[in-house]
Structure 1
């Protein structure tokens, strides 16, 4: 059965969008996604979290299909529990980029997400995880961050805001890496040219779908490429102003089931 209004694909971010603050998906949201699925729409999680950090959440959603992880650097098959595709950030390039940023703003605190379906999140001294529920392994020296291939680097600054750090980082690293801001306390460096849109395009190609019937939900500037790619972008009430500025619609917050509100209207 074709999805109403042509929306055959529903792409949702997780943190600050589909997830509530306690990392759960409400029963209302689950029911709305189920109604959309019954009408023929496919749901794709498109998240900045690396694949190992989404397994439990995908199970809660009953997802056995594809998920775009690591800001688009990973395409994960939940049913087979394996990565179908991944792009790594060269560690020498990452070190160079960090050096250029620190030359501008002084010391930053860094963490990395290792590549692979079982990759670890490593954090150096001074780095504080923005999501305390996410597991991480602390290392004693920055050099230990580069002990295995990585998908991205996460940055925090002791004084600068996320917006300020992201702006400086973009100017400092140039084409060495793509700079994104995916949540409070989460400025990231990922492989150059990789975004949620590139990962989503790869996933939809495998599914035989396209951008013309895609509906996207998000809350942070890292969702902007996805909004530009999709036919319609819906920002949460709690979204960053940069995302609201390019959204086609603003719904309620993640705590108030904003995703469900829109889906209930489109898939009654």
Structure 2
């Protein structure tokens, strides 16, 4: 859809941490500026890759306020406002709106939450009171709730509900959502070129933290319809994108970003740094990206 608000690459950006596990707010500007310089057109602040679930409400709010101020209209700003209580979702969303965010991304009720379609619709209806465009989040293997095509159609009737980010990792399920004719965003790193070819309206991409230039190139080639170029660029990205999806996702993204010059420190507890043996496997999967991303 030409009027879709979040086309192309939206980076689920890492949150910088200091050696003691505190959010490194003093490094945030440099961190975001590197990605803006690499051509990233949209950001998700307090993202899952940025350990949203392990940030306090105060930390997340400050991260959003500072991040939106730094970006200052140069890229789209999406904020994850997921919370267990829908009242907290509304409050977080209103804060994001006050900071100038363009939209929010939020999970359906999670942690042994309700699974009926009616309850999921009621949740998002209340969340829409926050006043910003909503990106629903389909990650059924984590949440226990699947956004099916029928549920997607119902959600699309809610004011402010604009799209679903599909992180199921199942291309069949994603193309079922795409065939509704409603805009769908891909959130599964290994599916990027296939999802774009299938008609995904946009991407929310965590792996792009460690290879923003190559990821921007893939999306631009897809937008131009040059699928041979897409395949050429994807060939360099595919080993690492497949590897991080197989486990240790957050630790792997942080470790890979450090290797390619986009480090954000180590992920905070309860995560530990990626072990040395897995770092070596990751380094091999990155291959030439380590050098190419470092080049200006």
TM-score by length of 1: 0.36
Higher relative contact order (CA 8 A, sep 6+): 1
More strand by share: 1
TM-score by length of 2: 0.34
More helix by share: 2
